[in-house]
Amino acid sequence: MVVLRWKMAEIHQARFAIIGGSSTNSIDFPGEAGYDGVEIIKRRAIFDTPYGKSPAFTLFSLKGKTVLTCRMHGWRAGVTRANASRQLFWVLREAGVERILGEGGVGAIDPKLELRDIVVPDDYIDLSMRRDVSLDSQYLLVMRDALCREERAALLEAARAHSVGRVIERGVYVVTDGRHFESPAEVRMLRSLGGDIIGQSLAPEVYLAREIGACYGSIQIIVNYAEGVVEEWSHEELASIFYGEAGMMSRILLEALDSLPAEKSCPCVSLRKPSLLKEKAD
Ligand SMILES: [Zn+2]
């Protein structure tokens, strides 16, 4: 296998990024999505970052839009999840990315949800222990409208066109660390806090996107019920969704990306403010 290593200055400029999670993991995204207009420019591009070597990126174009994508799901040997996220967002910032779409498979806390429903979250609760993850920039990050309303609208429209399950317009995504699932008592607590779905990836991505001044939207497919909700989860069903729905999720992401307007009309960038705090000189 040939691994391309680009120096910092050679990172291709791209305004768009898709962060791959578990819902597209079983196919070679975006090539195997079967979406018209996708042209692969570079594959297996790994960059040196201040936080170690980045994950492998694919650079592609979609009808005039240049897009970086990589797989972030899973745990890379020898790399903390905090550093994996820093590596990713450092590259996206250097590339000049302004719009990011993320995806994944999540557990349902809300018993009204069904397997294969698609949720486009509009808010989150971060209960992970990775809160210090940043690129050390001096910004105050306002987390109102954390999930970009323009990207959410594009994801919803594409999901309605392609989803095999229902499309849920909003939901609160609870972020936990994993890799173990939650206990029934923890799930009851998360429901009482207002959570609808549980996963491990929305944070720190949502903070880091704001830190680099990019919009962030996310689409999630229900792959199991959280412990104590409706029925015990089945590994067979999980595998069937993992392998069976990756093409559909890929097409939703690409169609949403395709439909995003060139000019933004959302407030995301204005929600990143300069910090008023200064470091004290010795
Ligand atoms: Zn936005």
Q: What is the pLDDT of residues 73-82, one digit of tens each?
A: 656 778 888 8
Query: Tens of pLDDT along 183-201?
Result: 999 999 999 999 999 999 9
Q: How far is the CA of 214 from the centre of ligand 1 (A)?
A: 7
Q: How far is the CA of 94 from the centre of ligand 1 (A)?
A: 19
Nearest to 211 by CA among 95, 121, 126, 90: 90
Q: How far is the CA of 265 from the centre of ligand 1 (A)?
A: 7
Query: Tens of pLDDT along 48-88?
Result: 999 999 999 999 999 999 999 998 865 677 888 888 999 99
Q: How far is the CA of 102 from the centre of ligand 1 (A)?
A: 13
Q: Is there a contact between 120 and 169 (Cβ–Cβ < 8 Å)?
A: yes
Q: How far is the CA of 99 from the centre of ligand 1 (A)?
A: 7
Q: How far is the CA of 160 from the centre of ligand 1 (A)?
A: 21
Q: pLDDT averaged over the chain? A: 89
Q: What per-residue confidence (pLDDT) applies to 9?
A: 47
* CATH level 2 (architecture), domain 4-264: 3-Layer(aba) Sandwich (3.40)
Cis peptide before 179 (omega within 30 of 0): yes
pLDDT at 268 > cutoff 50: yes
Q: How far is the CA of 24 from the centre of ligand 1 (A)?
A: 23
Q: What per-residue confidence (pLDDT) applies to 237?
A: 83
Question: Pairing mode, if any, of strands 272-274 and 139-141?
Answer: antiparallel
Q: How far is the CA of 148 from the centre of ligand 1 (A)?
A: 4
Q: What per-residue confidence (pLDDT) applies to 238?
A: 82
Q: What per-residue confidence (pLDDT) applies to 256?
A: 97
Label residue 2 by pLDDT band (50, 70, 90): very low
Domains of the chain by residue range: 4-264
Q: What per-residue confidence (pLDDT) applies to 279?
A: 62
Query: Tens of pLDDT along 9-48?
Result: 478 899 999 998 887 888 888 988 888 999 999 999 999 9
Q: What per-residue confidence (pLDDT) applies to 252?
A: 96
Q: How far is the CA of 217 from the centre of ligand 1 (A)?
A: 8
Q: What per-residue confidence (pLDDT) applies to 281?
A: 55
Q: How far is the CA of 1 from the centre of ligand 1 (A)?
A: 38
Q: How far is the CA of 216 from the centre of ligand 1 (A)?
A: 7
Q: How far is the CA of 156 from the centre of ligand 1 (A)?
A: 15
Label residue 180 by pLDDT band (50, 70, 90): confident
Query: Tens of pLDDT along 98-119?
Result: 999 999 999 999 999 999 999 9
Question: Pairing mode, if any, of strands 197-199 and 172-175?
Answer: parallel
Contacting residues for 197 by C-beta, under 8 A, at least 6 apart = 106, 107, 108, 109, 110, 113, 119, 121, 171, 172, 173, 174, 220, 222
pLDDT at 272 > cutoff 50: yes
Q: How far is the CA of 149 from the centre of ligand 1 (A)?
A: 6
Q: How far is the CA of 146 from the centre of ligand 1 (A)?
A: 8
Q: How far is the CA of 256 from the centre of ligand 1 (A)?
A: 14
Q: How far is the CA of 253 from the centre of ligand 1 (A)?
A: 16
pLDDT at 220 > cutoff 70: yes
Q: How far is the CA of 187 from the centre of ligand 1 (A)?
A: 31
Query: Tens of pLDDT along 154-163?
Result: 999 999 999 9
If you ran DSSP here, which 8-state letter would residue 61 be given? E
With a pLDDT cut of 70, the percent of the chain lying above it is: 93
Average pLDDT over residues 127-144: 84
Q: How far is the CA of 88 from the centre of ligand 1 (A)?
A: 19
